[in-house]
Structure 1
């Protein structure tokens, strides 16, 4: 009986994985058939369901192939937030016309590698094991504690750089719009795909204060920065 239940569970897992892979292939199918615009909605849903930075990057490529630069830039910003140390999203953002100053990860260079992604997780895990062993062991060896401290110190700059870049106040406009002043009067036009710097988190009547790449300041509607499926 137990063997039968185990076999059924294994079959259910295999079936679920098969459905997941099939759904992912279906999302890419229109793009492979030369219809990138029809693939955007499926790729965006896959990215939102936890596809990682690569899923957002693929969605951005499909949007750009379809001529939707606004959505492409917004997807690339999501990819950048999930993987600040990766160069591809930033390069694609700048290729799409975004004016983005050198990020903390770019300034840190190779130092950022130690505190980002799986290398950072592995190094922090080893550091935690070393420090935990040193604290709990009856025979404390300073060399173990020193190794743990060195690993933590090596990870810290990269981890801080990744955190700062992931929380950078950047937003992309997904459709042509205008900046408006405090009275609601339109001031500067903003093209779809423009990456703006948000100033503060406060929202006024569905608008936020931003600064454009040319230095112009004003309010932009949050509705013009949201992607729809």
Structure 2
């Protein structure tokens, strides 16, 4: 079934994106509705229990960060802690963790990162993405659709810090998530959701603040699969 899904993913991409130049490996998408954006370099890493895919060209950098490293869909924006981040040529940083200014939009940043496949034989990862992201002041936005990352090499050594969530905000989010989680137990219907939310918040704190002692990762490990 996994092989069938992966084959359909590749066939769909090749047949539906006639205007997109496809290279192997590739990290690319349609930026702001009409611009083909394509990385000239790319790499991926498994860090703090999540996936980091990063690539860029001479002046811009795109980073995709998920809170876990499993095949599946990771929603962006709102209270979701996975992140898509884009830095443009002027140094403006757009993140799905940033809310928009109400004068720009009443809708939050949104989107998704879909991890489709980890290929063990080539040590690569493939998937798709789309998102709307905002600058920290919420006044500027960037949009990506039809995003693809295909056979990106898992090289290690990537570290994505800062971004849309400051370390201070990340610590506060962990405190809130921990308080909600501590108020439940495994017999309650919302236990799994609150546990996963706590793990996600801890992962973002690692990305935003670092975890030199391994304490935060130990907490994540102790929570297991939240079942």
Tell me the TM-score range normalised by the shorter chain: under 0.3
| TM-score, structure 2 as length reference | 0.25
Which entry has the higher C-alpha Rg, 1 or 2? 1
Q: Which has the higher strand share?
A: 2
Q: For CA contacts below 8 A with separation 6 or more, give which structure has more relative contact order.
A: 2
**Going by fraction, where is helix more abundant, 1 or 2?**
1
